Chains A and B, each alone.
Chain A
Amino acid sequence: MTAIEDNVLTLDPEEARRARQERLERIGKWVLPLAIMVVAIVLWDRICVWNAIPQYILPRPGVVLQTLHSDAGLLFSSLLVTLRITFLSLALAVIGGVGLAVLFAQSKWVEMSFFPFAIVLQVTPIVAIFPLINIYVDNQTVKLLLCAWIVAFFPILSNTTLGLNSVDRNLRDLFKLNGATRWQQLRYLRLPAAMPYFLGGLKIAGGLSLIGAVVAEFVAGAQGQSSGLASRIIEAGYRLNAPRLFAALILISLTGILIFLVLSLVSHLILRRWHESALKQER
């Protein structure tokens, strides 16, 4: 009784309302999306039953889950193929994006000269470029990698370039005053300053490299030599095997979410001590 009275005494109605609101939001952040998801799945199932929709058009969620289990060997080996392309191309995007950004940062002239090419690569739809790549490149893996790389490297290049150029002017003067070499300035000032920007780009590129890997395989799939998740989807489509199609789709979505979560965690761990973006979450 006294505890409640104390509470009433120390918190005025406005603050109490705010505290209650914050508590609700904290819970709602997790519960709401999950609840909506569950409702959607149940609704999906009911619609299939009520309308007697045949399995080859829209399978019930339970059937999809069953397929995920029964076709696990096939699907997961395909997932592995797709993941290999995804991570290889993400790694190449990081190397290429950061490398080019560092090169651009060396001189305004280099940046002015070459940045337009990067934009051209970015804005041209990969599906339209692929036939060319198909002519010039023989190796299937290299083809897919190239495709996924073109899609994924731009956000890293663009963000890192922005970061490398956003160094505080006074800090630049400080390094100049202390006779820092170009390399020291890059190593101790510009690269750390660009880190939050780079990590932002990496989060986008992570998703894009998965999309790139799937799209590339889709376009290349006409040749029928690949065995990633995209070719499973095409194959299942031809055979009207909708449950497997859905299962493959779910795997791709989950992979994308997982990549995003992992990269967000990495970003948070690296920035949590000093960067504003990471501080809010701690409060």
Chain B
Amino acid sequence: MIQEKVAETPAASGEAPMLLALRNVGKVFSNGVTALSKVDLAIREGDFLSLLGPSGCGKSTALRLIAGLSTPTSGQLDWRGAIDRSNIGFVFQEPTLLPWASVFDNVWLPLRLKGVSRAKAEPAVMEMLSRVHLTGFENAVPRELSGGMKMRVSIARAMVTKPRILLMDEPFAALDEITRFKLNNDLLELWQDERFTVVFVTHSVFESVFLSSRVVVMAARPGRVHGELPISAPYPRDEAFRTSPGYAALCRQASDVLVDAINSTAGSHHDGH
């Protein structure tokens, strides 16, 4: 059973079709800051790709460009096939829920904005809620939930439209470690079942290695891709993987690339994480 799942994981084959290519992408803000410079990045269907880097390396900017929330100053984004915004799910750093709306209404929102009635949306919403282990909480309002539960609602909302690509901007950074590990596991489980593509922004080496099939390390000033590290460890990854020597070695590798990226920034005053 486990063997089968590994074989099915698209990223494991390395032959998955291209979903999106960033070609020579640059972004300069109106205040003159170069957020991104000459970024080339290929994202394949089914990738779990982490953008790892110090603050100010443009990883969030890259995510916003992919989401279409911002346009590149130079270069281009090539999507394979037609993609519209309903194919993109986005999870923010904070849960970003409507505080006045119930959990159900929050998850329903993306469908509601597309004109899907409550009754028609109900099966999809309830299914997503059960996928993130929130069955029974559909009538609660966000303030009645813990930080981890709010983030689960946020993930359910992003996934309810069955997007082809899920963009996550340091979603678990504000959570305590126990909750973060739990959500890491649940996210991987969801990803393996649904086989969407993930671009995951983080500044945690450990988190990126645990989750990803590829870690792309970025450097700051200007924001650019410094290096890439394939994480070939098989899925499913569980708590045993988290404590294995293989995982520790991979973290060491990723950490070395990250330190190298930080040092490559001339005159760096970065204070580290």
Interface residues of A (CB under 8 A from B): 168, 170-171, 173-180, 184, 188-189, 192-193, 195, 273-275, 279
Specify the main secondary structure of chain A where it touches its partner: helix
**Within 8 Å of chain A (Cβ to Cβ): is B110?**
yes
Q: Which residue from chain B places its CB closest to the CB of A181 in the assembled complex? A: B113
Contacts A/B (CB < 8 Å), 17 sampled: A170-B94, A171-B96, A173-B69, A173-B92, A174-B90, A177-B68, A177-B88, A178-B114, A178-B161, A179-B86, A179-B114, A180-B113, A192-B101, A195-B100, A274-B100, A274-B142, A275-B99
A188 cross-chain contacts in B, Cβ below 8 A: 98, 109, 112-113
**Within 8 Å of chain A (Cβ to Cβ): is B12?**
no
Given A179-B113, A184-B113, A192-B100, are A173 and B141 also a contact pair (CB < 8 Å)? no
**Within 8 Å of chain A (Cβ to Cβ): is B252?**
no
Give CA–CA (A14, B224) in the complex, Å: 57
B100 cross-chain contacts in A, Cβ below 8 A: 192-193, 195, 273-275
Given A179-B114, A273-B141, A274-B143, are A174 and B86 also a contact pair (CB < 8 Å)? no
Q: Is the CB of A176 within 8 A of B69?
A: yes
**Within 8 Å of chain A (Cβ to Cβ): is B85?**
yes
B19 cross-chain contacts in A, Cβ below 8 A: none
Partner of A274, one of B68, B94, B99, B112: B99
Q: Which residue from chain B places its CB closest to the CB of A174 in the assembled complex? A: B96
Which residues of chain B from 73 to 105 have any CB-CB distance to chain A below 8 Å in the complex?
84-86, 88, 90, 92-94, 96, 98-101
Q: Tell me how far the C-beta of A44 lies from the nearest C-beta in chain B, rounded to whole angstroms.
A: 47
B161 cross-chain contacts in A, Cβ below 8 A: 178
Total interface residues on B, CB under 8 Å, equals 25
Q: Is the CB of A175 within 8 A of B113?
A: yes
Name 18 extra pairs, CB < 8 A, besides A171-B98, A173-B92, A188-B98. A170-B93, A173-B90, A174-B90, A174-B92, A177-B67, A177-B69, A177-B90, A178-B109, A178-B110, A179-B84, A179-B86, A179-B113, A179-B114, A189-B98, A192-B101, A193-B100, A274-B99, A279-B143
Q: Which residue from chain A places its CB closest to the CB of B112 in the assembled complex? A: A188
Q: Which residue from chain B places its CB closest to the CB of A273 in the assembled complex? A: B141
A193 cross-chain contacts in B, Cβ below 8 A: 100
Given A178-B85, A189-B98, A274-B142, are A170 and B92 also a contact pair (CB < 8 Å)? yes
Which of A178, A179, A192 gathers the greatest number of chain B CB atoms within 10 Å?
A: A178
Q: Tell me how far the C-beta of A77 lies from the nearest C-beta in chain B, rounded to whole angstroms.
A: 42
B88 cross-chain contacts in A, Cβ below 8 A: 177
Which of A174, A189, A275 gathers the greatest number of chain B CB atoms within 10 Å?
A: A174
B141 cross-chain contacts in A, Cβ below 8 A: 273-274
Which of B90, B98, B113 gathers the greatest number of chain A CB atoms within 10 Å?
A: B113
Q: Which residue from chain A places its CB closest to the CB of B64 in the assembled complex? A: A173
Q: Tell me how far the C-beta of B22 lies from the nearest C-beta in chain A, rounded to whole angstroms.
A: 19
Which residues of chain B from 91 to 135 have any CB-CB distance to chain A below 8 Å in the complex?
92-94, 96, 98-101, 109-110, 112-114
Q: Is the CB of B98 within 8 A of A192?
A: yes
B94 cross-chain contacts in A, Cβ below 8 A: 170
B110 cross-chain contacts in A, Cβ below 8 A: 178
Q: Tell me how far the C-beta of B154 lies from the nearest C-beta in chain A, rounded to whole angstroms.
A: 10
Give CA–CA (A63, B69) in the complex, Å: 71
Give CA–CA (A219, B198) in the complex, Å: 69
Give CA–CA (A193, B100) in the complex, Å: 8
Which of A175, A184, A273, A275 gathers the greatest number of chain B CB atoms within 10 Å?
A: A273
Write the B10-41 contact mask toward A (1 if CB under 8 angstroms, else 0).
00000000000000000000000000000000
A195 cross-chain contacts in B, Cβ below 8 A: 100
Give CA–CA (A139, B108) in the complex, Å: 51
Q: Which residue from chain A places its CB closest to the CB of B90 in the assembled complex? A: A177
A180 cross-chain contacts in B, Cβ below 8 A: 113
B96 cross-chain contacts in A, Cβ below 8 A: 168, 170-171, 174
Give CA–CA (A190, B99) in the complex, Å: 12
Q: Tell me how far the C-beta of B62 lies from the nearest C-beta in chain A, rounded to whole angstroms.
A: 15
Q: Tell me how far the C-beta of B103 lies from the nearest C-beta in chain A, rounded to whole angstroms.
A: 12
Give CA–CA (A40, B113) in the complex, Å: 59
Q: Tell me how far the C-beta of A155 lies from the nearest C-beta in chain B, rounded to whole angstroms.
A: 22
